[in-house]
Amino acid sequence: MTATNPATRGCDRPTHGDIPALEAAYVRYRPLLFSALAGLARHGFAASPDDGLDLIHDFFLNAWHPLVSNYDSKRAKFETYIYAAFVRFARPRIVRLRRWKDALVQPNSLALLDTREVWVQPPETAEHDLKAVRAALAKLDPFEHELLMAYVSGPAISERYLAQQYSLTRYRLRMLLADALAKTSVYLGETSSLGDAERSVVLGLWHEGRTVKEVSRLLERPVSEIQTMRSHFFQQLLHAAKGDGAPLAVTNQSFADAEHLLTTALESDMNEREVEAIRKNSDLIMSFLCAPSSDEFFKKFAKDLTPDHIARVYDALGCDEKLDPEDTAMMDSLFEASDKDEGQIGKAFAEVLMPTLHGDLRKFDLIFLKVRPIDEAQYKHLCSQPSVICGGAAAAELARFGLTPVTVVEASQGVANLARRFCVKNDVKKFGTFILDKKGRSDYSSGLFLPRSHSVHEVQLMCELPEATATRLFDWLTRVAEYVRGIFDGFDAELRGDELRLTRTDKNIDNLFERWSTPPDVIAA
């Protein structure tokens, strides 16, 4: 979608029958969504302005039509409705963008990888690896293969230019690249083509979707070593791509005026005069954000772009007219809610999860009987956390062992993520069932089971816990699953005899009050 010059930057309100079509809506409401991005930046979810424009593009491409069809003018004003929808749409994607930037190497930095300093190995080993990578790439779908080859074969190509060449937003481009890399790593793993160390890194980064730091903890190896192995893998892709055609030509479009405006604003610490200059030239700035050259600019100033600076840029690109007090209060409450997420987790823990459980499942001193309690200073710190304050006496007792209600959420999500990867690997489709091993045995009624040791290890990594604590926490979660069937998000748990079976639902429930509530049939049982 191209950046069209708006006739007005105000946020006038339509009636339900006057909701504009997609292209007109993009022009009309883009400033409002820039204002939403400013609010997100001020509340800890800062996306670089070029990424922010991509998020707005994706919102209109992927979410606009469902929003329009579900809009009820009696419940909310239209711009309030889409503002709230965009905040919910953008927040998790900003988090994912951070993770992908940690895992992917920018195309224009690939040329730096083609050096002897990156990796040293015998020629015959390098040739073996190269053949293995070529064989794995050959198994990709034609479009995935073409996209990945274009990504690694043209070091002068920016990510944004590549997205434009394939009519993709950068968010969608990153999704496709991540999928292609994951498949390549799986094919490499199937044939045992790489050495154990390299294969573990490749599978961890792109098949399991972990960050460099997570893989470092998983393999107990330095972060710098994981980064070097990641670079080696990209180097092999680069060599495998050679000979597949000349790199795409790059359009050298100059936006010197836009760069000057942004540079002056940043160097002035975003003083009001320079921000006003951005506001007056918002169309030029937005066109620059669509250009490949903006990649290098924001990379250059990455260290100078504080969340407040980013928010000021978005403010300048946002709505001119003030929203009425009712709208402003509602929109502010969205961000206040995000600030209070941990407190809400604590409340759900105290008000929904703990009352559902019975007997020993509520006695953390017994559950963590052989786990050494944390020292008094650490305990005092945990007790100051919002989830413990709002989690009541049970949360305070749990904190004695270095855990909070947030840890419970993270651990259950770690198991859910592991279970999802298990389903992909074993071709378990939606509504398919497998066994979550909670005893460390193998004599189940089905050979399709997720080993207990894998789950414990995942909890240990996800929450950075000692092994003994992670073991007890996982064991407790499997018992909780007998009463709270949605404890592992995206799966429905059911105890059959002594086997805990998970059914893949692909239904993700963010609201813990809903996810942790007990179905009537379970209460009756």
Question: Are 23 and 61 contacting, i.e. CB atoms less than 8 angstroms apart?
Answer: no
For residue 218 the two structure tokens come to 């998983």
- Are 158 and 52 within one domain? no
Which range is least confidently modeled, 9-18, 278-287, 465-474? Answer: 9-18
8 part of a folded domain: no
Residue 465 has pLDDT above 90, yes or no: no
Is 61 within a domain?
yes
Residue 199 or residue 21, greater confidence: 199
Report pLDDT digits (tens) over 78-102: 877 888 888 878 876 776 666 556 5
For the residues 44-64, what does the mean pLDDT come to?
Answer: 79
Q: Is residue 435 helix, strand or coil?
A: strand
Does one domain contain both 412 and 503? yes
**pLDDT at residue number 287:** 73
How many domains, in total, are found in the chain? 3
DSSP annotation of 253: -
**Main-chain dihedrals φ then ψ at residue 246, nearest 5 degrees:** -75, 150
Which of 104-108, 277-281, 342-346 is predicted least confidently? 104-108
Mean of per-residue pLDDT scores for the chain: 75
pLDDT for the residue 66: 75
Q: Is residue 2 part of a domain?
A: no
| Domain around 374 | 341-524
Is residue 226 situated within a structural domain? yes
**Residue 328 confidence (pLDDT):** 60
The answer to whether residue 443 is domain-embedded is yes
Q: Could you tell me the pLDDT band of residue 7, with boundaries at 50, 70 and 90?
A: very low
> 50: closest CA among 153, 173, 143?
173
In this model, does residue 500 exceed pLDDT 80? yes
State the pTM of this model.
0.46
The residue written with tokens 């951070």 in the block is 98
Strands 499-504 and 491-496: antiparallel
Q: In what order do the strands lie in the sheet with 499-504?
A: 449-450, 433-436, 499-504, 491-496
Q: What is the mean pLDDT of residues 484-493?
A: 93
What's the token pair of residue 194?
Answer: 């790489």
Asked if pLDDT for residue 411 goes beyond 80, the answer is: yes
Residues above pLDDT 90, as percent of the chain: 19
Confidence tier at 250 by pLDDT (50, 70, 90): very low
Do 433 and 515 reside in the same domain of the chain? Answer: yes
Q: How confident is the model at residue 55 (pLDDT cuts 50, 70, 90)?
A: confident
Q: Is the pLDDT of residue 486 over 70?
A: yes
Asked whether residue 498 falls in the same domain as residue 357, the answer is yes
pLDDT exceeds cutoff 80 at 351: yes
* Phi, psi of 129, rounded to the nearest 5 degrees: -60, -40
Query: Does residue 360 or residue 291 have the better pLDDT?
Result: 360
Please write the tens of the pLDDT for every residue from 327-345: 566 556 666 554 457 788 8
pLDDT at 175: 66
Looking at the fold, whether 172 and 61 belong to one and the same domain comes out as: no
Measured CA distances, 40 to 57, 229, 311 (Å): 17, 34, 8
Average pLDDT of the segment spanning 48-58? 81
Q: State the average pLDDT over residues 91-119.
A: 52
272 and 159, same domain (yes or no):
no
Q: Looking at per-residue confidence, does 55 or 191 come out higher? A: 55
Domain membership of residue 297 (yes or no) is no
Q: Percentages helix, strand, coil for the chain, rounded to the nearest 5? A: 65, 5, 30
Tell me the pLDDT band of 270, cut-offs 50, 70 and 90.
Answer: confident
In terms of pLDDT, which residue wins out, 170 or 350?
A: 350
Confidence at residue 235, expressed as pLDDT on a 0 to 100 scale: 60
Amino acid at 498: D
Dihedral of CA atoms 60, 62, 68, 70 in degrees, nearest 10, equals -150
d(CA 470, CA 454): 11
- Structural domain includes residue 346: yes
Bridge partners of 433?
503
Q: Report how far residue 391's alpha carbon sits from residue 200's, in angstroms, rounded to the nearest whole number.
A: 39
Same structural domain, 513 and 370: yes
In a domain, 3, yes or no: no
pLDDT of residue 237: 62
Of residues 119 and 434, the one with the higher pLDDT is: 434
